[in-house]
Structure 1
Amino acid sequence: MNRKTTQDLAAHRRTPPLRGRVAALLAAALIAAAPTLGACSAAPSAPAEGQQQASGQQQASVSVTQRVGDGEKAVEVPDGSTVLDVLKASGVEFESSDGSYGAYVTSIDGKAAEGNSGWTYSVNGEQPTVGCGEYEVADGDVVTWEYVSF
């Protein structure tokens, strides 16, 4: 063998196979993302027993109007709440499942999504590009849920 071929072969032996590198990169990404995955929970967390908010600070809240069908209800939720949190706080019966875009509302007041029909939401007349568990509401927002056919 000539010297160049021997060097190339030695360099190749030191390089892990592509499959191993991909697995290592995937594992590193999962480890790096692990601390933030707990923040993706749909349920807001309450302070642990014995914990309080920093002294002198009050939790801010926002007032939101929610419309479902012919009904409309004013709902007050903590600052940083999502459209899904508003739906929970409103007392409206609903079911949801986790989908590829986060929480997906599958049923409201017993009317379930089926076939090419389902529930969609808008905020102040605009349809957001994120799921209801991701969109944070602001004071004065109007959240409207509609049953639509696609």
Structure 2
Amino acid sequence: MKQWLFRFGAFFIAIALLAGCGTDEAGNTDTKNNQPSENQEAQEEQADETVLITISKDDGAEYLHEKEIPIEEGAILMEVMEENFYIETEQNGEFITSIERLSAKDGEKKGWIYTVNGEMPNVGAAEYKLKPGDKVVFDFQAWE
């Protein structure tokens, strides 16, 4: 009888220890004060250090590509585009004429217009300095 009680007690102690060493609902093993783990903080900080670039056409009627790109504050938009998309430029690299091989045909009055956070900047992509969290849209549309 004593052996049975001893085994029964040891079983419950083992269960209690395992439950105490478990993870919280978010999967964190650090449950002190419900603080996120260092790894989660690093991932959230990295997510904040990105821009979202969307490539579309005809005023957003068709989405061609969307990419979240890590940047450092002050990164130049044209350089980020050159590093992450196939682009062609004119006028000493100041004006984007083609993104991902989409460009205006001869005589067609279409071009690439870009906005940042829903507003059209007063400078070209070669001069625009990005900030983490910016949402950039390049749209291929009629300019007439």
Scaled to the shorter chain, the TM-score interval is 0.5 to 0.7
Aligned equivalents of 1:97, 1:62: Cα separation in 2? 30
The answer as to 2:80 corresponding to 1:93 is no
Q: 1:75 aligns with which of 60, 69, 74?
A: 69
Unaligned 5+ segments in structure 1 are 1-60
Structure 2 match to 1:134: 127
Work out the CA distance in 1 between the residues paired with 2:100 and 2:109.
Answer: 19
Asked whether the 8 Å contact 2:97–2:104 carries over to 1, the reply is: yes
Structure 2 alignment gaps of length 5 or more: 1-47, 57-62
TM-score for the superposition, normalised by structure 2: 0.55
Answer whether contact 1:77 1:89 (CA < 8 A) is retained.
Answer: no
**Residues 75 and 89, structure 1, Cα contact 8 Å, conserved in 2:** no
Structure 1 segments (4+ residues) deviating >3 Å: none
User: Which residue, 132, 136, 142 being the options, matches 1:143?
Assistant: 136
Deviation at 1:113, TM superposition (A): 3.0
Tell me which of 45, 48, 53 is aligned to 1:66. 53
**Residue correspondence of structure 1 range 1-150 to structure 2 within 5 A:** 62-69=49-56, 70=63, 71-90=65-84, 92-98=85-91, 103-114=94-105, 115-150=108-143
**Higher-Rg member (1/2):** 2
Cα RMSD (Å) of the superposition? 1.9
**Residues 122 and 128, structure 1, Cα contact 8 Å, conserved in 2:** yes
Equivalent position SS for 1:78: coil
Identify the residue that residue 57 of structure 1 maps to in structure 2.
none
Deviation at 1:132, TM superposition (A): 0.4
Greater relative contact order (Cα < 8 A, sep 6+): 2
Q: Quick one: percent identity of the two aligned structures? A: 30
CA contact (8 A) 2:109 2:142 kept: yes
TM-score with structure 1 length normalisation? 0.53
Distance in 1 (CA, whole Å) between partners of 2:128 and 2:75 is 8
Q: 1:87 aligns to what SS in structure 2? A: helix
